[in-house]
């Protein structure tokens, strides 16, 4: 079960990715909370791809079977790239409640997803993230 979306950088297009997460999540049996967490994470990743990437980007969703089944989400753009290690890896390096308008995207992604891998070089940035189904009885 796989979804691939080639999306143009136009307003609200991140909601197409969120709708795809909802649909695939329901088909996989993910619960509502899990679906909403992945939706917010994919929205943030899409906004980054649109802001820092080019005029289009790609979202891939897939169900992964295994001991603990999970959803894999990839957001890929062809922008100038960045050094993910130079960005705060988690909120411990950040003052809670500081009113900064920016810089929350990657933090939210890391907090809402179970695993996140970012690879980036000029011309190809890929944010890959996983969420477990956690609907064990």
Partner 1 sequence: MNEPQINLQTAVLDDGLGLISAAGYINNEGGQAVADAASELVGGGCQSLVIDLEGTRIINSIGVSILLEIMEKIMEGAGKLAFCNLTPTIAKTFEIMGLDQYAGIFSDREAAVTSFDTDGTA
Ligand X SMILES: Nc1ncnc2c1ncn2[C@@H]1O[C@H](COP(=O)(O)OP(=O)(O)O)[C@@H](O)[C@H]1O
What is the rounded distance in angstroms from the CA atom of residue 20 to the CA atom of residue 28? Answer: 12
What phi, psi does 103 have (nearest 5°)? 85, 15
Which CB sits closer to ligand X, 67 or 95? Answer: 95
10 within 8 A of 115, measured Cβ to Cβ = no
Which range of residues in 14-22, 34-42, 78-86, 93-101 is near a second copy by CB under 8 A? 14-22
With a CB cutoff of 8 Å and minimum separation 6, the contacts of 4 are 58, 59, 60
Which CB sits closer to partner 1, 14 or 132? Answer: 14
Cβ at position 80, least distance to a second copy in Å: 22
Cβ at position 4, least distance to ligand X in Å: 18
Q: Does 34 bind ligand X (CB under 6 A)?
A: no
Query: What is the DSSP annotation of 81-107?
Result: ---GGGS-SSGGGS-TT---SSS-HHH
Q: Which of a second copy, partner 1, ligand X, none interacts with 2 (beta carbon under 5 to 8 A by kind)?
A: a second copy
Interface with ligand X by CB under 6 A: which residues? 44, 48-49, 51-53, 77, 79, 81-82, 87, 102-107, 125
């Amino acid at each position: 079960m796989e979804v691939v979306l080639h999306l143009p950088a136009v307003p609200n297009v991140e909601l197409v990715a969120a709708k795809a997460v909802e649909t695939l999540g329901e088909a996989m049996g993910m619960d509502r909370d899990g679906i909403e967490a992945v939706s917010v994470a994919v929205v943030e990743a899409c906004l980054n791809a649109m802001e820092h990437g080019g005029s289009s980007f790609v979202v891939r969703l897939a169900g992964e079977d295994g001991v603990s089944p999970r959803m894999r989400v990839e957001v890929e753009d062809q922008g100038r790239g960045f050094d993910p290690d130079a960005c705060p890896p988690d909120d411990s390096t950040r003052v809670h409640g500081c009113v900064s308008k920016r810089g929350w995207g990657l933090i939210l992604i890391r907090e809402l997803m179970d695993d996140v891998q970012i690879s980036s070089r000029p011309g190809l940035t890929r944010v890959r993230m996983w969420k477990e189904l956690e609907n064990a009885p």
